[in-house]
Structure 1
Amino acid sequence: MSQRIEQGTGTFAIRGGLLDFSGDPAVSENAHRWEEDGLLVVADGKVRAAGAHAALSPALEPGTPIVDCRGRIVTPGFIDTHIHYPQTDMIASPAEGLLPWLDTWTFPAERRFADPAHAHDAARFFLDELLRCGTTTAMVYCSVHPESAEAFFLESEARGTRMVAGKVLMDRHCPDFLRESAEQGARESEALIRKWHKRGRQMVAITPRFAATSTPAQLQLAGDLACAYPDTFVQTHVAENTDEIAWIRSLYPEARSYLDVYERYGLLRPRAMYAHCIWLDDADRARLAATGAAAALCPTSNLFLGSGLFDVRSADRAGMALTLATDVGGGTSFSMLETMNEMYKVARMTGAHLSALRLFYLATLGGARGMRLEGTIGSFAPGAEADFIVLDPRATPLLARRTQHAQSLEELLFALAILGDDRVVETTYVAGKILHERK
């Protein structure tokens, strides 16, 4: 029996090729689970069981609806660990580098988010675009305006998506129309934490944009919040661009490195997500690993802005927690599949090789682990939230022609990672409910 499931209540099952992870494939050969004819059993928005169809189907209650997805891949929803929703409308804007790009495009675009109507409109489009691309959780930067975060959380709550977001903190080196005081930023961030953190599936991140746009006083207040609310998230940028690093060195001459600036203010800890991490040294990489913070790799924006190439091998030697991110609007696509494509190429340019299995891991369980949400999202572990996607290997004529010759799971996934985009995402489920279906 095959039927379309509309609601996230009750019990139903998905039959198809099941793929999820229990660890990093770069560390263990047995880190993934692949059931070519698998069954995912969902009950009241959570995973009840996952495994071989032959083993699980006899235990299904008579009449349990089964969605037939044979020939497709069912995998946990993608997790994007670094993205800016106020930059949606300025994606693909030209500039000579990161700093002029911020001044010319980013700051003027973010000015509009003081208007709740604009913020709601942008948030609706942004969330729908994520879901269309198979992304079910993201770590999101709002603008400096608390109205932008309020709009985002309301729109996410209406969809039932698990999202992490925070209002940006900026009290210097930005236009007057975006500048706040250190105290105001901390006060408004704490109000968001008290209202939204762990309200349903919404979670809050303390979000200094980057060390250049925050005074020491603001970073200290952000660190105080991170200490007072240890189960919140921290998100910011580090070591993205050489001009930026030189600027940070002039602003914080007492710090050993750019990353050290954040550690001095208590912002290097578990549930802290640092975007880019291109120009770290070995001491920085060791500190990221030791403190439990994670790196968000943003290959499309790093290439687009000419920032540099992430060194996968050095990060692995240090034991850093790695995740994958689109970084829209510096990044040029909402699609995590297209991001895998660029990450593979960046790794090759630094002499590393990323398997397709590892790319899919970074986009699912790797993101959950970096966010300290393993067991909640990112896998088919019993009790995990039923956020998953159905991928069609025949979504385009070229993919159909290429994948029909695939002789292994690695070859199949590699074709999806290199040739795939949003068209591959056939269906996106959030808490067991369809929120996107490709027509």
Structure 2
Amino acid sequence: MSLPSIPPVSGVISLPATSGLTAPMLTALTQALGVPREVLAADDQIEHAWANLPRLLDRIPAEHRSETLVRMCVAVATGLFDSAINYAWNAAIIELREKVRRFGLTVVPQVTGKSFDERTLLELKDADLLSLCLRLNLIAEEGYYLLDQCRDIRNNFSAAHPSMGALDETEFLAFLNRCAKHALSTEKNPRGVDIQGFIAAVKGTRFNAAQLTAWVDRLAQTFDAQRELLIGTLHGIYCDPAAGEEARVNALWVCERLAPTFSPRTKSDLVDRHHDYLAKGDEPRHKASQLFFERLSLLSLLGETELHALVTSASHNLMSVHNAFNNFYNEPPFAERLNAITSQNRVPESAQFEFVSAVVTCATGNQWGVSNAAVGYYNKMVRSFSPNEIRIMLSLVDSNSIVRSRIVTSTACKKRFADLVRMLDPSSVPANVRPSYDAWAAFH
């Protein structure tokens, strides 16, 4: 005759009913041995634990439901909560060891600074295993705290050692819940990066697309502390004047791909490194670091003073090329650089005059024309002018400026300036220069 089943909760594991089988057996057993029935868990305690067990088992992925958990269920069905705790803990320890293996046994020494292999892993005491998992970010601080409490309970209240006392079904369920949530769940298992291998690869030949993707994925999957360390190392390689160009390019490529996911701590660490170069007067590394932040669209992290210096320097460089020989051919990369700097950041007010003067002067051109390859960058920057930058632009024609002299002497320059004015957003034009704007916008 088959036993009736406990009505399953939708989506939750269904276990067979056992009360009709185990309750009489436990009573007969204790009577046969001449001991009180009370030495074992009461029938209602067993039923309570058994009824709540499916929900907890359902939190454990199928691949972790091993024979150890089967033995735990048998122990629960017979009221042996001290044995059930021991089985649950063994299952948790087995999975934590697997997490370390998935992280990478060869990588662990690079994190801990100590030798580590399979034998070391198997010989680790439970307390040391928990500490290692916390350090590798395989469990969170909350998980470490709660699992460490479970370790203490297992050592003092389970069948593994002489017990200090007996736990009831509620305490067992809480124990299993912690093991399921913090050790047996399918939480993301970061994989450690072989630091030595990674640095060797970065300093080797230039990455192809597959290599770049593989290394970016590995850094994305590792734990936060190691990823932050490696990003700082890549910044150092990029800024090192002695580093080969292929190594610098590899370092930059990896960081560019990861930049959108940089944590606040990573950004803070990079800024600290950058300002260390400045404080030490290491000009080559400082300039390289500025370019690193620029390429990653992180210039806003460096502060207004440094951004002022970058904008004005790029503006001066553009004007120098514009006023030099063969300017139409040489301007585009300098215009592109100025656009790259200003498109990702608000131009500091102290740098706006230099910026606007350079852009408008070069975009207006001279009597021979304008650098066609740079026009796209100039138009983009003009369209993004703030109200104060619009005011500066329109005031150039009323001051002793290169723009004014060219407009006065060249009809083509005058027309190009009017075209630039028409690119401005009318709603951004300040009231005190509105008449000048209207006049130039109407010019043909």
- TM-score, normalised relative to structure 1: 0.22
- TM-score, normalised relative to structure 2: 0.22
Q: Which protein has the bigger helix share?
A: 2
Choose between structure 1 and 2 for higher RCO, CA contacts under 8 A separated by at least 6 residues.
1
Larger Rg belongs to: 2
Q: Which protein has the bigger strand share?
A: 1
